[in-house]
Structure 1
Amino acid sequence: MKIHREGKQSIILGFIVFSSVNFMLFFLLPVYPFLILLIISSLLLCGLILFFRVPERKHVKNPFSIISPADGRVLKIKEVYENEYFKKPKTRISIFMSVTDVHLNRIPVDGKIVFVQYHPGRYLLAFHPKSSELNEHNTIVVETDRGHQILVRQIAGGLARRVRCFVNENEQYRQGDEMGFIKFGSRADVFIPDEYKVSVVKNQKVKAGVSVLAVLKEE
């Protein structure tokens, strides 16, 4: 397991705060209360480090499948009107990422990035129905060599305060490549082309780069 570069600044800051606070408490508190607070703060620091973990995985490589861009739980599968890029109804798979999930996002298909747009916004809870429109988010569209376009939306949640995108327009990427990172609880929406059949169900746990969200229908 590795620690992602996005966590470097947060972990260093957390370690400085951890060390400073516990150094002061060592002189201010009796032994047992100090030890209790030391254990609690140590667990919090470990949790912060684990948040930025990048577990070793064998990523799925399948040109006929859309792979999950995020770890988490399938919150909802619904046909909605996508009003930013497609401007028509599309099947949307929403994936909720809790603070215990891996928050590194990955490219769902081999293809070319044809659209990237960042939107500043609010920080509603990730499962709020309006969070995809009102919260800070990135919209990323990948086009396969068959011309199918998959839209992924990285959405900041109630705790998330930074949405990072690692890809650029007009560049080619492989399925499973790093796409971005969202800090501290968030959501990813995936808009599926009509040529694909959804292969997950509500409340199913998925893993980025591993779980198949949809497969290409037989022609």
Structure 2
Amino acid sequence: MKRDVKIEMKDIKWPEKAGFIIAAPGFKYIGIAGVIAALAMGLGGAVSGGIGLGLFAFVCWFFRDPERTIPPQSNALVSPADGKVISIETIENSTVVSGSCIRVCIFMNVFNVHVNRVPMGGKVEKVTYFPGKFFNASLDKASEHNERNALVIKTPQGAVYGVVQIAGLIARRIVCHIKPGDRLERGKRYGMIRFGSRLDLHLPLNTNIAVTLGQKVSAGSSIVGYLGREHEK
């Protein structure tokens, strides 16, 4: 069966600081939008040129990659995405981590920053691709039925959690440059989903959740919760 979603696991390394304030995976799309804008201005009238410039400006804005201030608390889990918290629930038999967990779902609309960041540092234990459908990412069934890419990360204190990039109705390009064995730092860039979608966190049951339903969060700077102290050595 033909796959419409493309999981890009190229060696795309985001810099410590965004040199152009534009995410690297957006360069191609910005170039295409620039060509369209130039053709619209050269071959069309003022209206066509204005539409072309508007498209170019939107694509540049969509792929923005602002710097974020990472919270200093050692046991704080930061949001992996900009967006709105649409679900907080305890689930059994997680398909990402073993056993029960707390799942926090964050929905990104087309106006959010789409660069994804590491919730908490640690070693990547597993990277798993799940084929699936393309339901609206705001629906509950998207967590289990949509195409998605999951990381399982073990922190230095021994806690294990999962973070899942989920494709949506429109967003069908997931970018992830992480491999098993990689060591990640909290708040660092690790991928993105193009044109709106969702990220889920699968967290240990003793996580102290710090967000509420409907709350807007920012990747890398908003604290989603705190890992239980019993994980610390």
> Common fold, TM-score beyond 0.5?
yes
Which of 34, 39, 58 is the aligned partner of 1:15? 34
Counterpart Cα distance in 1 of 2:94 and 2:206? 20
Which of 193, 204, 215 is the aligned partner of 2:226? 215
Counterpart Cα distance in 2 of 1:188 and 1:86? 15
Provide, for residues 98-127 of structure 1, a one-character-per-residue CA deviation record: whole Å limited to 9, x for no partner. 111111111111110001012233221111
For 2:42, the aligned partner's letter is: F
Which of 25, 36, 46 is the aligned partner of 1:6? 25
Question: Deviation of residue 217 (structure 1)?
Answer: 3.5
TM-score (normalizing by structure 2): 0.85
Counterpart Cα distance in 2 of 1:153 and 1:141? 9
Q: Is residue 33–residue 55 contact of structure 2 (8 Å, CA) maintained in 1?
A: no
Q: Is residue 127–residue 180 contact of structure 2 (8 Å, CA) maintained in 1?
A: yes
More strand by share: 1
Please list, as runs of the form range in 1=range in 2, the aligned pairs for 1:24-103 lying within 5 A after superposition.
24-26=43-45, 35-103=46-114
Identify unmatched segments of 5+ residues in structure 1.
Answer: 27-34
Distance 1:173 1:136, change over 3 A: same
Q: Is residue 40–residue 49 contact of structure 2 (8 Å, CA) maintained in 1?
A: no
Provide, for residues 31-87 of structure 1, a one-character-per-residue CA deviation record: whole Å limited to 9, x for no partner. xxxx33432332222111111111122222432111111111101111123442334
Which of 82, 106, 109 is the aligned partner of 2:120? 109
Which of 165, 177, 195 is the aligned partner of 1:184? 195
Counterpart Cα distance in 2 of 1:123 and 1:19? 33
TM-score (normalizing by structure 1): 0.90
Question: Which residue of 2 is the match for residue 29 of structure 1?
Answer: none
Q: How many residue pairs get matched?
A: 211
Which of 162, 180, 201 is the aligned partner of 1:169? 180
1:200 aligns with 2:211: yes
For 1:156, the aligned partner's letter is: A
Name the stretch that deviates more: 10-19 or 135-144: 10-19
Q: Is residue 136–residue 163 contact of structure 1 (8 Å, CA) maintained in 2?
A: no
Q: Is residue 79–residue 91 contact of structure 1 (8 Å, CA) maintained in 2?
A: yes
Which structure 1 residue ranges, 4+ long, deviate > 3 Å from structure 2? Answer: none
Question: Which residue of 1 is the match for residue 14 of structure 2?
Answer: none
Question: Deviation of residue 168 (structure 1)?
Answer: 1.2
Q: Is residue 166–residue 178 contact of structure 1 (8 Å, CA) maintained in 2?
A: no
For 1:18, the aligned partner's letter is: A
RMSD of the TM alignment (CA)? 1.6
Larger gyration radius, structure 1 or structure 2: 1
